[in-house]
Amino acid sequence: MSEVPLVIASSLRRHFLTSAERLEVLTAVDLEVRAGETVAITGESGCGKSTLLGLIGGLDRPSGGKLTVGGMDVAGLAESELSSFRNSQVGFIFQFHFLLKDFTALENVLIPGLVGRQSSRALAERARELLREVGLESRMNAWPLELSGGERQRVAVARALMNEPPLILADEPTGNLDERNARGVEELLFSLVERHRRTMILVTHDAALSSRAGRRLLLAGGVLEPA
């Protein structure tokens, strides 16, 4: 593993203003994740797990504190730089697959590479190889509505790896699946992260999924602590 952590959060804060109050979600989050680690963050619904993941992935900006990913000050990036950061440095997997219904499985996996303007020939071959890895070789040209829930989430996993990002962020990746499909996606996710030598931070209520991570943390009261 690298000596310098891939992700460093120091006294990270996030609050939201409502018409009635100032809602403090993250009050003082400290986190270091080294390259190659798998970290699971658990906690009660509404405690801020997804908020924290969104900050790390550049989907939102912190209210205070410091956050670096791969040595980059994420909070200090301009909007155009954030877009490039998200496309090249982070692979997102959400509870809902968010596949585009008018694109085939193969085309959905291709999208991050097209945004990154990679070589189309190399791009297509990489997308096909990823779909083979997730067991969907025979379903590449299927539309999302023709795929099962488990198959759709496998496409989402392949899409997250498309640009070879160093960091995978998974937000309840098995939360919308039945038990059989959840365990299948769990096995697939961890095996692919290991095979591709990625770093992964996941948030989940799934005890079986979190137990697979190398390190488990609990988010409570706006701070992180060992689970």
With H, G, I as helix, E, B as strand and everything else as coil, classify residue 72.
Answer: strand
**Is the CATH number 3.40.50.300 carried by domain 35-61+77-218?**
yes
| Residue that has been written with the tokens 């006294």 in this structure | 11
Residue 26 · residue 14 · CB < 8 Å: yes
Measure Cα distances from 179 to 50, 123, 131, 152, 176 in Å: 22, 33, 22, 15, 10
Q: Give the pairing type, strands 90-93 and 72-73.
A: unpaired
Please count the residues of the chain.
227
Percent of the chain exceeding pLDDT 70 equals 97
Beta strand spans in the chain (E) = 7-17, 22-33, 38-42, 64-69, 72-73, 90-93, 167-171, 199-203, 215-220, 223-226
Write down the pTM of the prediction. 0.91
Tens digit of pLDDT for each residue in 148-197?
988 999 999 999 999 999 999 999 998 888 888 889 888 999 999 999 99
